[in-house]
Copies of this chain bind each other. A is one copy, B any other.
Amino acid sequence: MVGARRCFARNGFHATSMQDVLKEVGLSAGAVYRYFSGKDALIEAIADEAFAVLRDAFDEAARQSPPPLPDELLAYVLRKCFAGTGFETEQEFGQLVLQVWGETARNEALGARVFAAVSVMRAGWTAVVKEYQRQGIMPADVEPEYAARTLMGCAMGFIAQQALFGDLEVGQMQQGLRGVMRMEVPNPS
B10 touches A106 (CB 8 A): yes
Cα–Cα distance between A90 and B11 once the two chains are bound (Å): 26
A79 at the interface (CB under 8 A from B): no
For A10, the chain B residues whose CB sits under 8 A away are 105-106
Q: Which residue of B lies closest to A157 (CB)?
A: B153
CB distance from A50 to the nearest CB of B (A): 13
Interface SS majority for chain A: helix
For A104, the chain B residues whose CB sits under 8 A away are 164
Apart from the given pairs A9-B105, A138-B179, A157-B157, 15 other A-B contacts in the complex at a CB distance below 8 Å: A11-B106, A12-B103, A69-B186, A70-B183, A101-B102, A118-B165, A137-B183, A143-B176, A147-B180, A149-B173, A149-B176, A150-B180, A153-B157, A156-B160, A181-B183
A63 at the interface (CB under 8 A from B): no
CB distance from A151 to the nearest CB of B (A): 7
B179 touches A147 (CB 8 A): yes
A163 at the interface (CB under 8 A from B): yes
Cα–Cα distance between A111 and B98 once the two chains are bound (Å): 14
**What does the 1/0 interface line of A135-164 toward B look like (CB < 8 Å)?**
011110011011111111111111011011
Mark out the residues of chain A between 1 and 35 whose CB falls within 8 Å of any chain B CB in the assembled complex. 9-15
For A36, the chain B residues whose CB sits under 8 A away are none
For A156, the chain B residues whose CB sits under 8 A away are 153, 156-157, 160-161
Picked from B115, B147, B161, the residue with its CB within 8 Å of the CB of A149 is: B161
For A11, the chain B residues whose CB sits under 8 A away are 105-106
For A70, the chain B residues whose CB sits under 8 A away are 180, 183
